[in-house]
Amino acid sequence: MASALTLEILQRLIGYDTTSANSNLALLDYVRGYLNGYGVASTLVHDEAGQKANLYATLGPEDKPGVMLSGHTDTVPVTGQQWSHEPYRLTLEDGRCYGRGTADMKGFLALVLAAVPEMVEQPLHTPVHLAFSYDEEIGCVGVRRLIDTLAELPLKPALCIIGEPTQMKVVTAHKGKIAARVSVRGKECHSGLAPFGVNAINYAARLIQWLERLAIQKRNQGPFEEGYEIPYSTVHTGTVEGGTALNIVPNHCSFLFEIRNIAVEDPRRLLAEFQDHADTLAAEMRRTDPGCGIDIEITTEYPGLSTANDAGVVAFVQRLAGTEGTHTIGFGTEGGLFSRALGIPTLVCGPGSMEQGHKPDEFIEISQLEQGERFIARLLAQLRAPAGSPT
């Protein structure tokens, strides 16, 4: 059974509705108070509005690089989902912990916080850094402000472990992502006079068809990268909105699409090709009406993660996890930002499975929390030793 303290902290964390549309400050107030109770100071890095924040804290000596344990505090919404358990109250049932964020990823945060008393009671020779972010679920937005702050520090962590749910498997790579909103401006008129208008939905459909052809090309021709279940870049259109009524030629249509790219592929190049196609269509539209056009706005962008499998930090984390081999995941994390912006070797390894994340009745197996506790215990044993090092 997971420790009573882990479950108590997880219950508190689940009780805060930190959907990305909401503030996470109440949760961070609890975390700061908890850390203060053990004499641990923490720093908040707020968003522009002061309604959300990242938290950063160091336990152990501050004159040495250490291991950063990183996780996000926000969750996806429960709106429209049919839950049989209260989403914001921890429910223990049949060896599982139910609640929004149990797997993604408050379970990991609870493990880390539950280890704080031991970190304080048995002083560390090599420090542990805590990095808790906001707005990861909407494009790894909040952590960028924390990264700007960390970039100014004289010493940076030697290793970052992101506790996203991997069933405690050691993950060295995931794809990058770029997402965009496309807004098509047409010319409305009565549908009985359709040739005199410019149908924004039709032009949007032609753009979506171009993206679908690109997706098929990537599937059939690559490039390919071994290790992924889907070993090529994917292209996906997620939402479409447009039109007013059937008897009106629509003057507007918008849609969202994304590209999830493997490391060898530059998504900006693909986006530039799409822009060229959009410009060609826009010129065609303007021959009917000069007010027509197509706008493309990037809404989300983060790099992939690619840590060499033979890097020393990989073997170090494998020993902590008690496992061999490395893995890839199909979802994104903040890892690529830490790795590329700060040069910090980064791995993903945490309890639970993303198979349960984002779904109604989200849960984490108690056995996964137990594995996570053993992982943290091994880490602290390494960092208490004078020779302890993640490299």
The answer to whether 350 and 106 are in contact (CB under 8 A) is no
Asked if residue 135 belongs to a domain, the reply is: yes
* Judgement on whether residues 195 and 136 belong to the same structural domain of the protein: no
* Judgement on whether residues 257 and 120 belong to the same structural domain of the protein: no
The 8 Å CB, 24+ separation contacts for 5-9 are: 5/114, 5/117, 6/110, 6/111, 6/114, 6/369, 6/373, 7/90, 7/92, 7/97, 7/110, 7/369, 9/34, 9/109, 9/110, 9/113, 9/114
Asked if residue 389 belongs to a domain, the reply is: no
**CATH number of the domain where residue 252 is located:** 3.30.70.360
Asked if residue 207 belongs to a domain, the reply is: yes
* Judgement on whether residues 248 and 181 belong to the same structural domain of the protein: yes
Residue at which a domain ends, from 302, 318, 341: 302
* Judgement on whether residues 251 and 329 belong to the same structural domain of the protein: no
* Judgement on whether residues 169 and 183 belong to the same structural domain of the protein: no
Residue at which a domain ends, from 243, 275, 302: 302
pLDDT digits (tens), the chain, 391 positions: 789 999 999 999 999 999 999 999 999 999 999 999 999 999 999 999 999 999 999 999 999 999 999 999 999 999 999 999 999 999 999 999 999 999 999 999 999 999 999 999 988 999 999 999 999 999 999 999 999 999 999 999 999 999 999 999 999 999 999 999 999 999 999 999 999 999 999 999 999 999 999 999 999 999 999 889 999 999 999 999 999 999 999 999 999 999 999 988 999 999 999 999 999 999 999 999 999 999 999 999 999 999 999 999 999 999 999 999 999 998 999 999 999 999 999 999 999 999 999 999 999 999 999 999 999 999 999 999 776 566 5
Which tokens sit at 253? 């249509």
Residue at which a domain ends, from 302, 336, 362: 302
Domain enclosing residue 331, as ranges: 4-174+304-384
pLDDT for 259: 98
Asked if residue 391 belongs to a domain, the reply is: no
pLDDT for 330: 87
Asked if residue 390 belongs to a domain, the reply is: no
- Burial class from Cβ neighbours inside 10 Å (0-12, 13-18, 19+) for residue 370 reads middle
* Judgement on whether residues 254 and 210 belong to the same structural domain of the protein: yes
Question: Among 169, 388, 206, which Cα is nearest to 281's?
Answer: 206
pLDDT for 209: 98
Asked if residue 203 belongs to a domain, the reply is: yes
Give the total number of structural domains in the chain. 2
* Judgement on whether residues 181 and 281 belong to the same structural domain of the protein: yes
* Judgement on whether residues 180 and 130 belong to the same structural domain of the protein: no
* Judgement on whether residues 115 and 214 belong to the same structural domain of the protein: no
* Judgement on whether residues 49 and 192 belong to the same structural domain of the protein: no
**CATH number of the domain where residue 315 is located:** 3.40.630.10
pLDDT for 122: 87
The answer to whether 108 and 75 are in contact (CB under 8 A) is no
pTM of full prediction above 0.75:
yes
* Judgement on whether residues 198 and 324 belong to the same structural domain of the protein: no
* Judgement on whether residues 43 and 115 belong to the same structural domain of the protein: yes
Distance CA(86)–CA(88), nearest Å, equals 6
